[in-house]
Structure 1
Amino acid sequence: MRMTAFYGSDFDELDAFDPEIAAVLLSELERIRGGLQLIASENLSSPRVLTALGSTLSNKYAEGYPGRRYYGGCAEVDKAENLAIERCKALFGADHANVQPHSGASANQAVYGAFLKPGETLLAMSLPHGGHLTHGTKVSFSGKWFNAVHYGVHQESEDIDYDQVEALAREHRPKVIVAGGSAIPRLIDFERFRAIADGIGAIFWVDAAHFIGLVAGKAIPSPVPYADVVSFTTHKVLRGPRSGAIVCTEEHKAAIDKAVFPMMQGGPQMHTVAAKAVNFKECATPEYADYARRVVENAAVLATSLGERGIRPTTGGTDTHLSLHDLQGVGVSGKDAEARCDAAGIVLNKNAIPYDPAPPSVASGIRVGSPCVTTQGMGAEQMRQIAELIATAITRGDADPEHAVSREVRAQVTELVTAFPAYPR
């Protein structure tokens, strides 16, 4: 089997037993290799991380924490979790780390469990302005269980309105103030948030899911010195397994640990915990720091280049790994732009822009990210080429994958990803 070298010697056995799933593994790898992956919340985990994910640690039930398990036989998985904890603390300069959350949403749920009771008030960024589903939206548990007040961005600058944050904090006296989201191109002023929280005696929580990898690589400032608690995912810029983690001050470690287990979760996924340990070790290397720097540089070039082609970056650009673009100037919806790019082998997502006149299912914008293509070794020259391909697909293409423009762009995409392959053999 041609992919045994990538997936390991057991792949032939899987293919013989379950060819349908084996085919999915093969086709997904080919999908990744065959297109431009520009989803800002995705990356390409290393084979080392994937090896830990596929290990025998998956078999072990390990409720509790190292040295305090509710099951026997945990001596080896304790070693893995202790390594993950210590590496996480060292990487981010944190007092305490909990590496058990199954996902970013699970980590966020635990933070709520540690600091809020049902009905109490939180202050967070609104979803349409760049926040996250778990920050108090009505369809989420966070909006159903808690009283959520939302701040937004200035209509002119499209950046966070810190004066509004302060005014709302004083008016509503939230118990928790949340910074972070899923479509924020600019750096967040953590010091200002800390001062606002201190002014009303609130917990300051940073949901760093999107940008924590840039913090790990010291490409942007860290929220850890300012926040009471920082939650994050490990699979975006950080380039680890699909999972979550939390770091916090010494003062809050007991509350966080109790909220993760036994309040919100049972047994942790020990194979994933081991993969996080591998990932944290990768992120402590000079090579990763160089990668994080290049992610930021590439995102800036991509944002500027799209703007030069009439696809306006909100906030005027980006300081991070992602940029958000307004398509109203080219007369194409986010939904159509996503479909046209997909037909051309370019994977990105439609996204609401601040004060968007269109519904979220249609949207007036797109969100693009540089993590995956930077992992593949691409640089500024390729970012400018990618911007041209995106602009061509959006403004000249259509949703029909047989259209000539789509075929033309896809051919250039294929040439590009062949030169910079994902998971090279």
Structure 2
Amino acid sequence: MSYETVRAADPAVADALAAERDRQNDTLAMIASENHVSEAVLEAQSSELTNKYAEGYAGERYYGGCEHADEIENLAIERAKKLWGADHVNVQPHAGTQANMGVYLAMLEPGDKILSLELNHGGHLSHGHPANFTGQTYDVEQYYVDEDTGYIDYDGLEETAHEFEPDIIVSGYSAYPRDVEWERIQEVAEAVDAYHLADIAHITGLVGTGVHSSPVGIADFVTGSTHKTIRAGRGGIIMCDEEYADDIDSAVFPGSQGGPLMHNIAGKAVGFGEALEPEFEEYTKQVVDNASALGEQLQEHGFSLVSGGTDNHLVLVDLRESHPETTGKEAEEALEDVGIVLNANTVPGETRSAFNPSGIRIGTPALTTRGFEEEAIREVADLITRIVNNLADEDVKSDVSDRVDELTNEFTLYE
């Protein structure tokens, strides 16, 4: 994409867009929540639907001229139903957080109780953090992973649920590398007369192909992002049984959003269609295989992984044992200097701050999109190790940077 039309109108923005394209082409994206969409999704998202207001839902809009918007939104919904096996789907949330907001607004009153995983143990801001609207609106209690094993402490979750008596229990996580026992959490929710919201933002694509177990049909509500392990238009999605459909739809519009971003919904429709092709299942299998290879190679180099490995698309490295003087932020910055982009992350039992934590979170969705398989991923683990072991060695940085350049040229992205 040349951005020549943008350049003629606004050279400064065109320069920034071209620089971002080059940055993505020339670096290894390993932030677990990032991916690279197809040219088709990019084109759909930059379409004339940017111009169109379509408040309401297909067939029940508050504006005229929505016949093509209706067609595209219906395509996105039907493809999502087929992909995830859901009874009812709302594709209008602007992000995963807005999807969660829609569920809370539909089913809770201010002051109601949420039970969710603690942020440092892998939870998400929108599950009840005090800096987020959830923590400011609802009464929030947390459950935890077992710090010795790194796995969800399901017994502790159950005990806390009976003591706290939540109105909703949230499962699904942003930094948890293991499969989730959806049925067990649902049993706890039913025992305490609570709803169960499963937030699959990180594993949406993996769930869609059966590479990760699915909460659809188990949890009362399933929310997700549409741009992490699935390569669709950037945004959110809500799935539920028909009995909750009207409440959910009203909570999204007009409850928490105005006009839907129809150009993003077009990107969702295209991405969902791509995900229904057989090639996407092979892609998700490779994402998981790559994450496993990445974790194994890092362990060979002496790194400690939370839970000892991974079942999904990410590994969470706790640096305190192998590199006690190195913070996650120092590792993140040194790796970005050589073109490996990941993020510092808190770990269970965190002894530092969220701004400068003790871990790094590393994901494989974007590199798998570029065509990386296990051998290449293992080499990337070697490169990560060299940098973390030699944070201040400029010769090592230069050598690794050169190899990153070679890898990005070998595994091309956008022309």
Shorter-chain TM-score range: over 0.9
Determine the structure 1 residue equivalent to 2:314: 322
User: Which secondary structure state, in structure 1, belongs to the residue aligned with residue 34 of structure 2?
Assistant: coil
Which one of 68, 76, 83 corresponds to residue 76 of structure 1? 68
Which one of 402, 406, 411 corresponds to residue 415 of structure 1? 406
Structure 1 regions of 5+ residues with no counterpart? 5-10
Check whether the contact 1:151–1:168 (CA below 8 A) recurs between aligned residues. yes
Written as runs of structure 1 = structure 2, the 5 A alignment for 1:145-156 is 145-156=137-148
Stretch moving more, 212-221 or 317-326: 212-221
Check whether the contact 2:225–2:235 (CA below 8 A) recurs between aligned residues. yes
Q: How big is the shift at 1:259?
A: 0.5
Check whether the contact 1:183–1:324 (CA below 8 A) recurs between aligned residues. yes
Determine the structure 2 residue equivalent to 1:285: 277
Q: How big is the shift at 1:217?
A: 2.1
User: Which secondary structure state, in structure 2, belongs to the residue aligned with residue 357 of structure 1?
Assistant: coil
User: Which secondary structure state, in structure 2, belongs to the residue aligned with residue 139 of structure 1?
Assistant: coil
For the residues of structure 2 that align with 1:53 and 1:14, how far apart are their CA atoms? Answer: 16
Determine the structure 1 residue equivalent to 2:300: 308
Structure 2 regions of 5+ residues with no counterpart? none
Output the amino acid matched with 1:395: N
Determine the structure 1 residue equivalent to 2:389: 395
For the residues of structure 2 that align with 1:13 and 1:378, how far apart are their CA atoms? Answer: 33
Check whether the contact 1:39–1:349 (CA below 8 A) recurs between aligned residues. yes
For the residues of structure 2 that align with 1:163 and 1:365, how far apart are their CA atoms? Answer: 26
Q: How big is the shift at 1:417?
A: 1.2
Check whether the contact 1:310–1:330 (CA below 8 A) recurs between aligned residues. no
Output the amino acid matched with 1:185: P
Which one of 334, 354, 358 corresponds to residue 328 of structure 2? 334
Q: How big is the shift at 1:172?
A: 1.1
Written as runs of structure 1 = structure 2, the 5 A alignment for 1:171-250 is 171-250=163-242
Residues 268-303 of structure 1: per-residue CA shift (max 9 Å, x gap)? 011111111111111111000000000000001001
Check whether the contact 1:99–1:273 (CA below 8 A) recurs between aligned residues. yes
For the residues of structure 2 that align with 1:218 and 1:153, how far apart are their CA atoms? Answer: 24
Determine the structure 2 residue equivalent to 1:371: 365
Output the amino acid matched with 2:139: N
Q: How big is the shift at 1:84?
A: 0.8
User: Which secondary structure state, in structure 1, belongs to the residue aligned with residue 126 of structure 2?
Assistant: coil
Determine the structure 1 residue equivalent to 2:158: 166
Determine the structure 2 residue equivalent to 1:7: none
For the residues of structure 2 that align with 1:23 and 1:360, how far apart are their CA atoms? Answer: 33
Check whether the contact 1:81–1:277 (CA below 8 A) recurs between aligned residues. yes
For the residues of structure 1 that align with 2:226 and 2:339, how far apart are their CA atoms? Answer: 26
Residues 310-352 of structure 1: per-residue CA shift (max 9 Å, x gap)? 2211100000000100111123110110011011111010001
Quick check: 1:267 aligned with 2:259? yes
For the residues of structure 2 that align with 1:219 and 1:104, how far apart are their CA atoms? Answer: 21
Check whether the contact 2:232–2:269 (CA below 8 A) recurs between aligned residues. no
Which one of 109, 114, 127 corresponds to residue 117 of structure 1? 109
For the residues of structure 1 that align with 2:217 and 2:102, how far apart are their CA atoms? Answer: 21
TM-score, structure 1 normalization: 0.96
Determine the structure 1 residue equivalent to 2:397: 406
Determine the structure 1 residue equivalent to 2:376: 382
Output the amino acid matched with 2:60: R
Q: How big is the shift at 1:13?
A: 2.3
Taking only the aligned residue pairs, the percentage that are identical comes to 45
Which one of 50, 53, 57 corresponds to residue 61 of structure 1? 53
Q: How big is the shift at 1:27?
A: 0.7
For the residues of structure 1 that align with 2:377 and 2:216, how far apart are their CA atoms? Answer: 31
Check whether the contact 1:218–1:292 (CA below 8 A) recurs between aligned residues. no
Q: How big is the shift at 1:43?
A: 0.1
Quick check: 1:42 aligned with 2:13? no
Determine the structure 1 residue equivalent to 2:355: 361
For the residues of structure 2 that align with 1:127 and 1:234, how far apart are their CA atoms? Answer: 22
User: Which secondary structure state, in structure 1, belongs to the residue aligned with residue 159 of structure 2?
Assistant: helix
Q: How big is the shift at 1:225?
A: 2.1
Q: How big is the shift at 1:397?
A: 2.5
For the residues of structure 2 that align with 1:174 and 1:389, how far apart are their CA atoms? Answer: 45
May I ask how many residue pairs the two structures share in their alignment? 413
Output the amino acid matched with 1:105: T
Deviating beyond 6 angstroms after TM superposition, the runs of 4 or more aligned structure 1 residues are none
Check whether the contact 2:342–2:360 (CA below 8 A) recurs between aligned residues. yes
For the residues of structure 2 that align with 1:267 and 1:84, how far apart are their CA atoms? Answer: 17
Quick check: 1:298 aligned with 2:290? yes
Output the amino acid matched with 2:357: A
User: Which secondary structure state, in structure 2, belongs to the residue aligned with residue 43 of structure 1?
Assistant: coil
TM-score, structure 2 normalization: 0.98
Q: How big is the shift at 1:161?
A: 0.4
Q: How big is the shift at 1:390?
A: 0.2
Check whether the contact 2:234–2:268 (CA below 8 A) recurs between aligned residues. no
For the residues of structure 2 that align with 1:110 and 1:90, how far apart are their CA atoms? Answer: 22
Q: How big is the shift at 1:158?
A: 1.1
User: Which secondary structure state, in structure 2, belongs to the residue aligned with residue 134 of structure 1?
Assistant: helix
Residues 16-65 of structure 1: per-residue CA shift (max 9 Å, x gap)? 22111111111111111111110000000111111110000111111100
Q: How big is the shift at 1:421?
A: 1.2
Q: CA RMSD in A?
A: 1.0
Quick check: 1:86 aligned with 2:78? yes
Determine the structure 1 residue equivalent to 2:125: 133
